[in-house]
Chain A
Amino acid sequence: MSFDALHLLALRRKADLASLVQAGGIDGAVLEAALAPAIADGRVIQARGLYVLAPAGAAWLQSQYPQVFAATRADSVLAAEYQRFELINRELKTLITQWQTLEVGGKPVLNDHSNADHDARILDRLAALHERAEAQIACMAARLPRLGRYALRLSEALDRAEAGELDWVSSIRCDSYHTVWFEMHEDLLRLLDKRREE
């Protein structure tokens, strides 16, 4: 349990209890209990209502990964599904960039969201991508059930964006589509011992 809690915290590095509960779908009291020993031995620092993963905690996690994720890393079906996910990931990155940046006469210009047409088009494509992502996450969740939670969180973000709360596409101040997506991506990289390729 302590491992799960620390891994969850590592994906954000710094978080309050409520957002960890939301991200992990784990009961708050259970999480607190799981984090307590890590706070006691300095792997996690608790300050001003936030939990912060300490360098010792990060090192401990790295030492645990090969053993805890051994079965996952050996799962060739999951590895193949992950390759497919990476294709969607590339599209997502392009899409988020197009959400933030317009190409005007061949030059990138920040999107100030004054062109409703453009925004609607990108949201539409995000929704279409989401349908494929959901199916892909379901395939991966068939091997590792906890991944299924990402599909729910992505759906929530998309729903809010489509309801007109544009921050929910890529803001870093909320669990926007991009925030959740990158958390999931980081999770997968750690799970499968892959390097981020930009």
Chain B
Amino acid sequence: MNGKWTHWLADAAAPARAQIGGKAWSLAQMAALGLNVPPAFVVTTAACTAWFEGGRAWPEGLEQELADGIALLERATGRSFGGSERALLVSVRSGAAISMPGMMDTVLNLGINDEAERALASESGSAGFAADTHRRFCELYGRIVLKATPMEHANAETLRAAVLAEVGEAIPRQPVEQLKRAVMAVFDSSRSRRALTYRKHQGLPADLPTAVTIQAMVFGNLDGDSGTGVMFSRNPLSGERLPYGEYLPHAQGEDVVSGTRTPEPLDSLRRQFPQLHAQLLAGAETLERAERDMQDIEFTVERGRLYFLQSRSAKRSPEAAIRTAVDFADEGLITRAQALSRVKAEQIDAVLRPRLVETQARDALVLARGEPASPGIAAGLVVDDCDHCERLELSGQPAVLCRATTSPEDVHGMIASAAVITEQGGSTSHAAVVGRQLGKPCVVGCGDGTLALLRGRMVTVDGDRGLIYDGLLATEIPSETDHPWLARLAAWTEGRPLRAALAAAQP
């Protein structure tokens, strides 16, 4: 279709990154590797430049090209935009050549309105899902495009009213209007104050334009032959070369994120669709070899067809970072020097952190348990007063601070403590945030009465497992030479100490 302002992404010759932005470019790369990605087209950076050159006026011909792009998406998916049957919904995302802060977040499910909601309800057999999709669209659109901060609303209709009342602009009901307004918002976000500030800091041109990717949504919750999942090309916790991931049949990505349903291991996909499972593994392998790094892949199955949504460099545990660096070098995908550059000193510290002597911990009395919020092992006398904590520290005695909750005025006590315990709160609580920042073991949400039980006792806090043991337990420190992958990495430093070699190898 390639027009003046738009590019169809499945075309063999992917345009330059500067023209279509990083996100569209990586979609095009996936397509070029032969992976099935949901159909998409991109409004190029040239259109964004023209938008500003024309004084924020719609570039001539862009409206028609948007319509053409949508028509192509309709043909490729057999769906219709704003249709009352098999409705086409799209995602709209920003993407400059260089990713930077201040750009617009992705709007999902664009194209939904009352008719499309009914169509989605009959197609998925779930009026609740369709209504929720509509509500979530309004929430995202209101927040991202119209910059409203709507309170929580139970349905799309009250949300629409709240957004209108707050910002004086309505969420359009016409899909084409939704799309045009979203594209404009993406253009404008390239000159948001934050984007401009960031570019100034980085010495980038102030007028750097963005592209806009418009992609068909695929649904993992249409029927039992649909589903959604994530997979890692290796185990991101251990680094072992085994596919690792989860699959949730008859579900959308949001179901996984919100934790309302528990996903199944990837094996359940293999049992249901051996062929798709094989395709997925082959795709992961292809992506891993192309990127020369462990990949984290989002995928959806829609009515028995596999779609790759996104692939990126996988987040990993320190253990996995070390192991994959060594394995990738062994497999010839990277050099040994590159392997060293991929490991950080902090990851080695984490792997060699003191841990409880297992045989002792097994027999120890657990006094309390909560949510592990910051890892590590520490022991001391339980106190509930920050000043007391400081006095103990000054006299060289380790203290464990235990509070119902913590507030900014407790920070000095946390600094003086060996570990922190709270009765209330979860992993985002103040105590958890500060505990992690201080690198101190922290267990939160142990329940009311914990303080009364623990005060004045000697305890050992296990921040990895969220356990408070009675008394002082023995710890051991693992050694570099005992660790199979660290030992191998250490042999590649040409005689230098491992940490010095890593520091020298950092990019």
Contacts and interface: CB of A to CB of B under 8 A. Distances in A.
Is B truly associated with A? yes
A123 interface: yes
Contact of B198 (A93, A105, A162): A162
Among A10, A14, A100, max chain B CB count under 10 A is at A100
Question: Which secondary structure dominates chain A's binding surface?
Answer: helix
Contact of B236 (A10, A12, A13, A105): A105
Interface string B376-419: 00000000001000000000000000000101111110010000
A88 interface: yes
Interface in A7-29: 10-14
B235 A100 contact: no
Q: Which of A14, A104, A163 has the most CB of B within 10 A?
A: A104
A172 interface: yes
B366 to A, nearest CB: 21
A136 B426 CA distance: 25
B429 A120 contact: no
A115 B408 contact: no
Nearest to A132: B149
Contact of B246 (A103, A106, A196, A198): A106
A115 B313 CA distance: 8
A115 B409 contact: no
Nearest to B433: A96
Contacts of B455: none
A118 interface: yes
Contacts of B346: 112-114
Interface in A102-127: 102-110, 112-115, 117-118, 120, 123-127
Q: Which of A13, A163, A183 has the most CB of B within 10 A?
A: A13
Interface residues of A, number: 58
Nearest to A94: B428
A63 to B, nearest CB: 17
A74 interface: no
B317 A109 contact: yes
Interface string B313-348: 101111011000000000000000000001010110
Contacts of B149: 84, 87-88, 132, 135-136
Interface in A153-171: 159, 162-164, 170-171
Contacts of A130: 194
Given A88-B149, A101-B427, A186 B194 contact: no
A104 B317 contact: yes
A4 B284 CA distance: 60
Interface of A: 10-14, 53, 83-84, 87-88, 93-94, 96-97, 100-110, 112-115, 117-118, 120, 123-128, 130-132, 135-136, 159, 162-164, 170-172, 178-179, 182-183, 186, 189, 196, 198
